[in-house]
Every structure is written in structure tokens, then in C-alpha cells.
């Protein structure tokens, strides 16, 4: 007997009516990925819609000699859904950053189901509009000097997944300096210099399990420059 589909872990699906979930469930597939596994490649047809159940996935865009990490997605977030809804190829590659489980739904069968359920379509389009807005913000954040881009990145991560302690905002996302460079669209050397300076200035403290931001307001100011 197959395990139940954890719809509760995906906000975009969790709020659907039970009758809608019952119709979707037979289409769903759960699959585990290990660190470094490719979920889909840039340019491949978007034949499935993916959602992260557990773990983290990075979205990587080829940019000449250097890859750029467009986004890092965590539990509950859709992966490649906009491409599937627009019926175009995936614009970037999705790679598991750690042991991850993803739920996927075949695009063709899913849309056939939506044709018979207009209320469900309206609900999902609302969620995807928010997702598209997030992507547009991320692309806007990639403009400006490296220091400005880095500040915006850490502010976004703090807003999305940060937890406040008495002394800092903790971002529970361990990223290597190379991954940070790929997120910022810059070189490894530039990233190392920036993070070393910020560490000395007390702006960001690199920890084993992620980063601590003692003064998030200071980072916001840098991001607005």
C-alpha cells in the first residue's frame, strides 16, 4: 500500500477542497533525491509539476562559464510550476542540495483535471501569481553592486526562513562560499573577500548550520543603496 500523499506540506495544495485533493491524489508521485541529484534539466519539457516535501532544492541557470543559482527552495514550495502552467521548457536546472523528497504531478493529466474544476484553477492561479512575483523580485535583486546584491539576498533569506534570537536573526541554511558566489552571480574570490569583511564588521556570522545576522536593519540599509 502506497503511503498517503502529504498534501498538508504544500500550502498551494493543502487549502484545496477534499474532493479536489481526492481527484489529484491518484496522479501524484513521491520521489526521494540525494544531494547533487538532478530533478530536471534546463531546456527539458516541463512535463511534471514539482513540490518540495522535505529538503532543499537549488534552481541553477547556465550563464556562460559560470552557473548562477536563481533561487533556493524549501519545504512546501513549488518547483518549475510556472513553466508547466505556461507549457514551456524549464528555464533552469533543479538540483537537490541535500536529501530531499519531492511530490510531482504530470502536467497533461493535471490540466485535464483542471478543465473540469474551474474553482480549483482559480485557486492555483492565485498561488502561482505570488510565485511569479517572487521570481521577479529575485531577478530585480540581482542588479547593482555585489555588496548590495548580497545584502538583499540575506535579507530575503532572513524574511523567508530566519528565526529571531536575543542576539541575531538565524538563517538555518548552510551555504558554501561557492554557492553564495553562484547566488550572487560573482566570483568565488569576491565572495570570500566580502564575507570575510562582513564577518569582521559583525554584519554576518557564518556558523556550521547557516548564518547569524546580528543587525538585520543594517543589511536592509546596504540593500537599498
**Residue-level pLDDT at 205:** 94
Residues 217, 120 within the same domain: no
Give me the DSSP letters along 198-221.
HHHHTS-EEETTEEEES-HHHHHH
Identify the pLDDT of residue 71: 87
What's residue 131's pLDDT? 62
Q: Are residues 57 and 134 in the same domain?
A: yes
Give the pLDDT band (50/70/90) at residue 135: low
- Provide the pLDDT confidence category of residue 127 given band limits of 50, 70 and 90: low
Q: How many Å apart are CA 38 and CA 95, to the nearest integer?
A: 5
At 166, phi and psi to the nearest 5? -65, -25
Which residue is it, cell 541557470? 61
User: In the prediction, which pLDDT does 132 show?
Assistant: 60
25 and 80 co-located in one domain: yes
Burial of 42 (0-12, 13-18, 19+ CB in 10 A): middle
Instruction: Tell me the average pLDDT of the chain.
Output: 87
Q: Could you tell me the sign of the dihedral formed by the alpha carbons of 140, 75, 30, 5, in that order?
A: negative
Q: How many domains does the chain have?
A: 2
Same domain for 45 and 109, yes or no, is yes
Q: Same domain for 11 and 119?
A: yes
Residue 26 covered by a domain = yes
pLDDT of 29 over the 70 cut: yes
- pLDDT of residue 96 exceeding 90, the answer is yes
Looking only at the bridges linking them, the beta strands covering 38-40 and 93-96 are: antiparallel
Cell numbers given for 111: 490540466
pLDDT of residue 126: 65
Final residue before a domain boundary, out of 89, 112, 141:
141
Q: What is the pTM of this model?
A: 0.76
8 Å CB contact between 191 and 177: yes
pLDDT at position 48, please? 94
pLDDT at residue 14, as a whole number: 82
Please report which helix (H) or strand (E) contains residue 196, including its range. helix 188-201
Domain end marker among 109, 141, 173? 141
First and final C-alpha spacing in the chain: 56
91 lies in the same domain as 182: no
* pLDDT 10s digits, 168-217: 999 988 899 999 998 888 889 999 999 999 999 999 999 988 999 999 99
Same domain assignment for residues 45 and 73 = yes
User: What's the rounded Cα separation, in Å, for the pair 218 and 225?
Assistant: 11
Q: What pLDDT does 31 receive?
A: 95
Tell me which residue has cell 493529466: 109
Angle at 50 between CA 47 and CA 26, to 5 degrees: 80
Write out the E strands in 55-135: 57-63, 66-73, 78-79, 93-96, 100-106
User: Which range marks the domain in which residue 198 is found?
Assistant: 146-223
Q: What angle (nearest 5°) sits at the alpha carbon of residue 96, between those of residues 84 and 16?
A: 45
Convert the pLDDT of each residue in 34-61 to its tens digit.
999 999 999 999 999 999 999 999 999 8
Q: Count how many residues are written for the chain.
A: 225
Residue ending a domain, choose from 141, 163, 198: 141
Give percent helix, percent strand, percent coil of the chain, each to the nearest 5. 45, 25, 30
With a cut of 90, say whether residue 105 has pLDDT above it. yes
Q: Are residues 16 and 109 in the same domain?
A: yes
Amino acid at each position: 500500500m502506497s503511503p498517503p500523499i502529504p498534501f498538508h506540506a504544500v500550502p498551494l495544495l493543502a487549502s484545496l477542497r477534499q474532493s479536489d485533493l481526492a481527484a489529484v491524489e491518484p496522479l501524484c508521485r513521491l520521489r526521494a533525491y540525494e544531494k547533487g541529484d538532478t530533478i530536471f534539466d534546463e531546456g527539458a519539457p516541463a512535463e511534471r509539476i514539482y513540490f518540495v516535501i522535505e529538503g532543499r532544492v537549488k534552481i541553477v541557470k547556465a550563464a556562460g562559464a559560470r552557473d548562477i543559482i536563481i533561487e533556493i527552495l524549501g519545504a512546501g514550495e513549488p518547483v518549475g510550476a510556472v513553466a508547466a502552467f505556461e507549457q514551456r521548457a524549464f528555464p533552469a536546472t533543479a538540483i537537490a542540495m541535500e536529501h530531499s523528497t519531492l511530490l510531482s504531478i504530470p502536467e497533461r493529466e493535471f490540466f485535464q483535471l483542471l478543465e473540469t474544476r474551474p474553482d480549483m484553477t482559480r485557486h492555483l492561479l492565485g498561488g502561482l501569481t505570488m510565485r511569479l512575483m517572487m521570481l521577479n523580485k529575485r531577478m530585480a535583486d540581482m542588479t547593482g553592486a555585489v555588496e548590495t546584491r548580497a545584502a538583499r539576498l540575506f535579507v530575503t533569506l532572513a524574511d523567508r526562513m530566519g528565526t529571531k534570537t536575543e542576539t541575531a536573526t538565524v538563517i538555518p541554511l548552510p551555504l558554501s562560499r561557492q554557492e553564495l558566489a553562484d547566488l550572487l552571480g560573482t566570483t568565488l574570490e569576491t565572495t570570500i573577500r566580502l564575507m570575510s569583511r562582513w564577518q569582521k564588521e559583525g554584519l554576518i556570522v557564518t556558523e556550521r548550520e547557516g548564518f547569524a545576522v546580528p543587525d538585520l536593519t543594517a543589511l536592509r540599509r546596504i540593500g537599498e543603496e
